[in-house]
């Protein structure tokens, strides 16, 4: 499942792509015609401190980021903060299970 985060919808809660995943990949894609610079933070649902925070650079190719998921977590919350207040930024975010090694 992919969600679009922008200046109006800065946050979304996503279920983990596979049960008992130790790591997930957070895929962030730019949207055509929209600025994508900023920061994406990843939290366990209900937590105050982020598991990870990523600066999206270069803005036209934000990328993929691996995040270690604590045992017992069922959902992750992702939050987008545009590079500057008032900037019409937007990104598509998706969680993908990382294969076990």
CATH number assigned to the domain with residue range 2-97, chosen from the 4 options 2.60.120, 2.40.50, 3.30.70, 2.60.40: 2.60.120
Query: pLDDT averaged over consecutive 10-residue blocks of the chain (101 residues)?
Result: 88 86 87 80 94 84 86 92 77 84 60
Distance from C-alpha of 21 to C-alpha of 8, rounded to nearest angstrom = 30
Q: What angle do CA 10, 48, 84 make, to 5 degrees?
A: 35
**pTM of the predicted model as reported, rounded to 2 decimal places:** 0.86
- Of the candidates 33, 30, 20, the one whose C-alpha atom is nearest the C-alpha of residue 91 is 30
Omega within 30 of 0 (cis) for the link into 58: yes
Please answer whether residues 97 and 9 qualify as being in contact, where contact means their C-beta atoms are separated by less than 8 angstroms. no
CA-to-CA dists, residue 88 to 15, 41, 57, 58, angstroms: 27, 18, 16, 17
Q: How many helices (H) and strands (E) does the chain have?
A: 0, 8
């Amino acid at each position: 499942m992919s969600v679009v985060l922008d200046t109006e919808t800065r946050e979304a809660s996503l279920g983990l792509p596979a049960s008992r995943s130790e790591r997930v990949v957070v895929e962030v894609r730019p949207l055509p015609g929209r600025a994508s610079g900023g920061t994406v933070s990843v939290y366990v649902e209900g937590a105050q401190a982020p598991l990870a925070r990523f600066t999206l650079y270069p803005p036209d190719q934000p990328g993929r980021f691996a995040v270690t998921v604590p045992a017992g977590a069922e959902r992750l919350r992702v939050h987008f903060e545009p590079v500057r207040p008032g900037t019409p930024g937007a990104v598509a975010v998706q969680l993908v299970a990382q294969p076990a090694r």
